[in-house]
Amino acid sequence: MSNAIELRGAVKRYGPITAVDGLDLDVPDGTCVGLLGPNGAGKSTTMKLLTAQAIADEGTLSVLGYKLPEESKVARAECGVVPQLDNLDTSLTVEQNLLVFAYLYRVPRRDRREAIERALEIAHLTERRTAKVDELSGGMRRRLLVARALVHKPRLVLLDEPTVGLDPQVRQQLWALIDRLRTEGVSILMSTHYIEEAERLADTVVIMSHGRAVATGPPSALVREHTGGEAVEVYGPPARLAEVESEARASGIQTRRTGTSITLLNVNGDAPGAADGERRPANLEDVFVLLTGEEIA
Amino acid sequence: MSTADVVTPTAAPRQRGRLRRLERPALAGVLVREIVNFSSYWRGTTFSSTVEPTIYLVAFGFGFGSLVSQVNGFRYVEFVATGTVATAVLFSSVFPGMFSTFVKYQFQRTYDAILAAPVDTEELVTGEALWIAMRAGVYGNAPMLVAIIFGLDPSWGMLVVPLICFTAGYGWACFGISIAAFLKSIENFSYVTSAVITPLFLVAGTFFPIDQLPEWAQVAANLNPLYHTVQLVRDAVFVNWSVDDLGHFGAIVAFGLLAWRVAIFGMQRKLID
């Protein structure tokens, strides 16, 4: 099996800041890879590298077998991109937005009509085809943004934070759409900082921190490997939490703060304070915090 | 979500596309976007580009015209009418070049979407400039047509005016795009408007002939593409061709080529990290 995306030692610097710092990333054909990381981890820069809207300082990058940045234009013709920020033409109708992109993505004249109809159906906007983008709800706009990226039947879809700022109903609709793409064999790279999103949709999760991949694997394998089977949540007043934390660390148990509680990770058998805590299965969020750190940059 | 096939990916890798510059489909994509958008705002643009020159003509042609009847052997209203063609080209291309480029880049993020498609910066800039130049090629004629109503005699030479307007408009569009590329904020545009565009607009032989100006200003006018546009338009409308017109046309072509490359360089710096 070949890779739709293959990055080796990719480096991107902005002055003194190294946004992407030796990133290795594979997206095997027909799979969905979730790029998970906190804000500032380098996810968006990675996305820009893949469309040659940023040029890597070091490393080798290939998309659909084309070498970047030299052959990027050919690669882009077979990619669909869903940007983080809505950049639809707001004074145009739903249908006109799709028409413009059918041209930009070089859909042949004889297929154009059909491509637009299909995209309208994907976005569930067939009834609203003549509505201006201004008149659409946030969820409809987001669906149109996804459909716009699919108008030319891309082999690879890049989704940059596809559901950021959306309510749960709309998010769930988009998840269904992304899942459908995956089952139809489209390769997907999706950046997100929503753990649930990565857990539900991604075959492989790549956890990014400070511009590097710090862990790679299927969500369940990552949980097993990094946090063991169980976690214990201890609730209490702040003083009590601090006490549990220092005791646990003293006896070599990893912990994480969750705001209202302290979580003891990798608990096998007994641990200080574990007796009065609640046991629960470890999850991807535990891994995420463990690997990317608790400090907010 | 839907019963329709979302996509059917091609099983076999498609034929390896060749890499070429300035591809026609890419330019067509950029132009189609502009044309479709134009359908939502053409009324306003058409209104302002016909009403504005009419106001200039009436104000200068009749206001000044009552004091000055002849300039360089032309009726003053005809002198101004031909000058106004060039200023109409300037305004209808340099301002869209500056403002719409900046807005599309900074606020609407349109260029992010276009550059994610198989379009590169060179094609994007060229497509945008071609579109603005096409509009200038049409709207630039408005003052001339208005002047015909006010008594300017139609001539065969007028048929080349759209070509002159298009060529000059392309250069000014690229000039405007360059400004948008090199300035950091839209507030700074007023420096360019006051310090660069207003003098260019006045010292071009539009409202008064430049041969009464001090010698340094006459030399400077030769570096002003608008001056060459004014001369070309006048020679075309009054069918008064001479060898000088080759020089005038060469000057606006050279200006267009230079501004085009500068605009591409500037936008590349701005759009590609």
pLDDT of residue B15: 46
Q: How many helices (H) and strands (E) does chain A have?
A: 10, 14
pLDDT (tens digit per residue) in A52-70: 999 999 999 999 999 999 9
- What are the tens digits of pLDDT across the range B34-50? 999 998 889 988 898 88
Strands (E), A56-167: 58-63, 66-68, 79-82, 156-160
Token pair recorded at residue B237: 């409308």
- The β-bridge partners of A264 are A232, A255
Q: Does domain A3-218 have CATH number 3.40.50.300?
A: yes
Residues B151-159: contacts with CB within 8 Å, 24+ apart? B151/B77, B152/B77, B152/B78, B152/B81, B152/B237, B155/B237, B155/B238, B155/B239, B156/B239, B157/B235, B157/B236, B157/B237, B157/B238, B157/B239, B157/B241, B158/B236, B158/B237
> Which pLDDT belongs to residue B255?
97
pLDDT for the residue numbered A270: 64
Of all residues in chain A, the one with the smallest CA distance to B29 is A104
CB contact under 8 A, B118 and A76: yes
Considering the domain A229-281, what is its CATH architecture?
2-Layer Sandwich (3.30)
Q: Do A155 and B9 touch (CB under 8 A)?
A: yes
Neighbours of B80 (CB within 10 A): 27
Strand-pair category, A204-209 with A32-36: parallel
CA A178 to chain centre: 11
Do residue B1 and residue A77 have CB atoms under 8 angstroms apart? Answer: no
Task: Give residue B223's identity as a one-letter amino acid code.
Answer: L
When mean pLDDT is compared across A178-182, A288-292, B150-154, B189-193, the lowest value belongs to A288-292
pLDDT for res B77: 85
pLDDT in the model for residue A295: 57
What would the mean pLDDT of B152-167 be, rounded to a whole number? 95
A103 touches chain B (CB under 8 A): yes
Contacts of B32 in chain A (CB under 8 A): 99-100, 103-104
pLDDT of residue A93: 95
The per-residue pLDDT for A268 is 66
Query: Coil, strand or helix: which one is A21?
Result: strand
Mean pLDDT of B234-246: 93
The mean of the pLDDT values for chain B is 89
Cα nearest neighbour of A53 on chain B = B272
- A126 → chain B, closest CA residue: B2
Residue B9 binned pLDDT confidence (cut-offs 50, 70, 90): very low
pLDDT at B13: 44
Yes or no, beta carbons of A77 and B118 under 8 Å apart? yes
Domains of chain A by residue range: 3-218, 229-281
Low-confidence ranges of chain A (pLDDT < 70): 1, 268-275, 294-297
- Choose the closest CB to A106 out of B110, B115, B118: B118
pTM: 0.89
pLDDT of B10 reads 44
Q: What is the pLDDT of residue A104?
A: 96
Q: Which residues of A touch B36 (CB under 8 A)?
A: 89, 92, 96, 99-100
| Interface check A173 vs B, CB under 8 A | yes
- Range list of β-strands (E), A100-237: 156-160, 187-192, 204-209, 212-217, 230-235
CB contact under 8 A, A103 and B1: no
pLDDT of residue A234: 86
Q: Which of A96, A124, A155 sits opposite B1 (nearest CB)?
A: A124
Provide the total of helices (H) and of strands (E) in chain B, helices listed first. Answer: 13, 2
A101 with B117: Cβ contact below 8 A = yes
User: What ipTM was predicted for this assembly?
Assistant: 0.88
Give which of B254, B47, B249 is closest to B163, Cα–Cα.
B249
Task: Please list every residue in chain A whose beta carbon sits closer than 8 Å to the beta carbon of residue B9.
Answer: 153-155, 184-186
For chain B, give the percent of residues with pLDDT over 70: 93
